[in-house]
């Protein structure tokens, strides 16, 4: 064992929806929603027909967002078949898509239409498989504040660490507490890999709304005021997934290095991840309890979720958190600024935007909270973002946590079965396409062969004498007719009648002209007689002695 490097195994269980952005969005040009499921695709892989190309080109040339959105909606089956990611969406997101796609949201005073963008912010995800994951940097950032907060102990910033408004400069405070910059920061010794889906795990996701609500009720003219802003759509990792993400964390030892310019101060160097977990828990547990109390008091939180989480935190998880065998952390942007600031009066400096035209203020607490919702107008049954528990070197199962996860996941769609069904449909569609391509190739090959045969016949015909050409032309008529008779077609035998239009009549006319034309040699006449005796039985009925007599085949043979 390498005593200079301690390695820990981490296992993360989401306690509430988590959204960690990656700078990518789903747009109405790379997703469609069908039956409550988002199908994400790469539009460049689509093979469009001529009419589809024309419509899309026209919409693009007119820079018509409305027409472009409608094009993708109207051709949903085509693009859905290209999907490489399937994510359930909330009822509100699905309804908004159906109602707003390709329609104007409002009309400005100028008369210009403003269209719904309908973008959906993506969570951090892997490349080819597009599985959600939690960046190690997010985890490390979540515990950084807790570590610095523990070092500060609630003390106010020093005078030189304050700006002209008297607010603390967090970077200056951290630099003092950590005794230096990056090179000497003890946090650089903590290495945390990205938390990836556990083996055979495809973590459940859902597109939810992030709604912004006031922490305190504000009444004006008898009505409760709500924050101004648009509810955002977020791809979220769902809560209640037992040990869904795993990663390794390492803590190297720098002993006996003592260089104060290039190494962290000895007393600040992390030596045990459990000690860091205890600091994280001290910081986050009080914040979680305050938030739950606030949301409960405002009637915003999903009470079933809150009550079950209270039991979990005071039950099985309590000992794990107290001993530092597990982290309680908060991840992602929508965890709130309070989860990223230091404790203590005058230490936190959170920018609060004022009314239009008014300057912002800086306070220690925010006035609003972002919550996960099924619908954009929800104000009850909501969940906070970003809470998770991370176990250190988990051994045996935690039955209470496992049961809680199973209860939270009840009623979710079986995405494994849906993906299997979807892949089977895609495979069948690819096979149909391959079969169609094979059939088309066979048809094209047949056409090419027929063309070549026709060209060869034409060349052969051109090389014949005038008499030979007449014989060949009539023979070709017979061959063409037989090619359309059963089993190749539904043509029937022609009548062997001089009085009716057909090859028998054509043969009679040709024989009459030949017998009266001195330019036809005996060999040419013999060749004509042999051709008629060979091909006419295949085309006309009846065929026998009388038909030969009517055509004067004996005379052609010089008999």
Tens digits of per-residue pLDDT, 158-181?
766 666 666 666 777 777 777 766
Residue 1 has what pLDDT? 43
Confidence band for 144, pLDDT divided at 50, 70 and 90? confident
Low-confidence winner among 192-201, 202-211, 355-364, 413-422 (lowest mean pLDDT): 355-364
Is pLDDT of 198 > 90?
yes
Is pLDDT of 40 > 70?
yes
Show Cβ contacts of residue 149 under 8 Å, excluding neighbours closer than 6 positions: 279, 283, 342, 343
d(CA 481, CA 475): 10
Show Cβ contacts of residue 33 under 8 Å, excluding neighbours closer than 6 positions: 39, 89, 93, 94, 97, 98
Cα–chain center distance at 36: 14
Higher-confidence position of 389 and 272 = 389
Rg (CA), the chain: 41
Which stretches within 75-155 are classed as H helix? Answer: 76-80, 91-100, 136-152
d(CA 530, CA 456): 23
Instruction: Give tens-digit pLDDT for 475-531.
Output: 999 999 998 998 888 999 999 999 999 999 999 999 999 999 989 999 988 998 998
For the chain, percent of residues with pLDDT exceeding 70: 82
- β-strand 361-363 against 5-14: which pairing, if any? unpaired
Domain ranges of the chain: 5-27+119-413, 465-559
Residue 228 has what pLDDT? 60
The DSSP H or E segment spanning 524 is helix 522-539
Picking from 18, 5, 21, the residue whose alpha carbon sits closest to that of residue 372 is 18
Please provide the size of the chain in residues: 559
Picking from 77, 93, 75, the residue whose alpha carbon sits closest to that of residue 37 is 93
Residue 2 has what pLDDT? 45
Mean local confidence (pLDDT), 279-304: 92
Instruction: Give tens-digit pLDDT for 397-430.
Output: 999 999 999 999 999 988 888 888 888 888 887 8
Cβ-contact 328, 321 below 8 angstroms: yes
Token code pair at residue 418? 């849906």
Question: Average pLDDT of the chain?
Answer: 84
d(CA 378, CA 92): 10
Within 423-545, strands assigned E span 494-495, 540-541
């Amino acid at each position: 064992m390498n005593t200079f490097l301690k390695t820990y195994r981490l296992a993360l269980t989401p306690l509430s929806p988590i959204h960690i952005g990656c700078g990518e969005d789903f747009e109405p040009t790379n997703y469609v929603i069908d039956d409550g499921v988002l199908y994400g695709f790469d539009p460049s892989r689509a093979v469009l027909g001529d009419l589809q190309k024309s419509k899309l080109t026209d919409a693009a040339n007119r820079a018509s967002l409305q027409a472009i959105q409608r094009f993708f909606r109207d051709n949903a089956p085509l693009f859905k078949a290209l999907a490489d990611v399937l994510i359930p969406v909330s009822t509100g997101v699905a309804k908004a898509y159906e109602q707003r796609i390709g329609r104007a949201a409002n009309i400005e005073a100028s008369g210009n239409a403003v269209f719904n963008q309908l973008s959906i912010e993506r969570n951090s995800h892997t490349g080819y498989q597009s599985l959600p994951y939690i960046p190690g940097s997010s985890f490390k950032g979540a515990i950084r504040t807790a570590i610095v907060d523990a070092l500060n102990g609630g003390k106010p910033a020093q005078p030189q660490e304050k700006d002209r408004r008297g607010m603390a400069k967090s970077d200056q405070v951290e630099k003092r507490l950590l005794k230096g910059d990056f090179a000497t920061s003890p946090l650089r010794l903590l290495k945390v890999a990205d938390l990836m889906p556990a083996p055979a795990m495809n973590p459940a996701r859902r597109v939810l709304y992030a709604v912004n609500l006031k922490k305190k009720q504000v009444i004006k003219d008898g009505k409760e005021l709500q924050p101004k802003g648009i509810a955002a759509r977020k791809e979220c990792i769902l809560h209640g997934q037992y040990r869904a993400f795993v990663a390794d964390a390492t803590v190297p030892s720098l002993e006996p290095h003592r260089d104060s310019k290039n190494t962290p101060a000895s007393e600040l160097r992390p030596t045990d991840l459990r000690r860091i977990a205890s600091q994280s828990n001290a910081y986050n547990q009080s914040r979680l309890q305050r938030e739950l109390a606030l949301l409960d008091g405002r009637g915003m939180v999903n009470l079933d979720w809150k009550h079950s989480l209270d039991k979990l935190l005071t039950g099985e998880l309590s000992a794990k958190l107290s001993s530092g065998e597990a982290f309680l952390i908060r991840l992602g942007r929508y965890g709130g600024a309070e989860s990223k600031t230091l404790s203590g009066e005058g230490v936190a400096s959170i920018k609060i935007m004022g009314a239009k035209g008014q300057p912002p203020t800086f306070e220690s607490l925010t006035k609003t909270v972002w919550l996960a919702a099924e619908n954009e107008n929800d104000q009850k049954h909501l969940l906070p973002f970003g809470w998770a528990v991370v176990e250190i070197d988990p051994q045996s199962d935690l039955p209470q946590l496992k049961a809680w996860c199973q209860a939270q996941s009840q009623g979710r769609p079986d995405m494994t079965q849906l993906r299997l069904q979807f892949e089977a449909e895609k495979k069948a569609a690819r096979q149909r396409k391959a079969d169609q391509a094979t059939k088309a190739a066979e048809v094209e090959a047949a056409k090419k062969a027929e063309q070549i045969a026709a060209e060869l016949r034409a060349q052969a015909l051109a090389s014949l004498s005038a008499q030979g050409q007449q014989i060949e032309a009539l023979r070709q008529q017979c061959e063409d007719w037989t090619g359309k008779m059963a089993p190749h077609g539904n043509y029937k035998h022609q009548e062997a009648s001089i009085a009716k239009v057909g090859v028998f009549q054509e043969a009679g006319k040709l024989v009459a002209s030949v017998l009266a034309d001195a330019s036809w040699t005996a060999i040419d006449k013999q060749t004509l007689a042999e051709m008629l005796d060979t091909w006419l039985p295949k085309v006309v009925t009846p065929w026998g002695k009388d038909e030969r007599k009517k055509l004067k085949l004996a005379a052609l043979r010089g008999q």
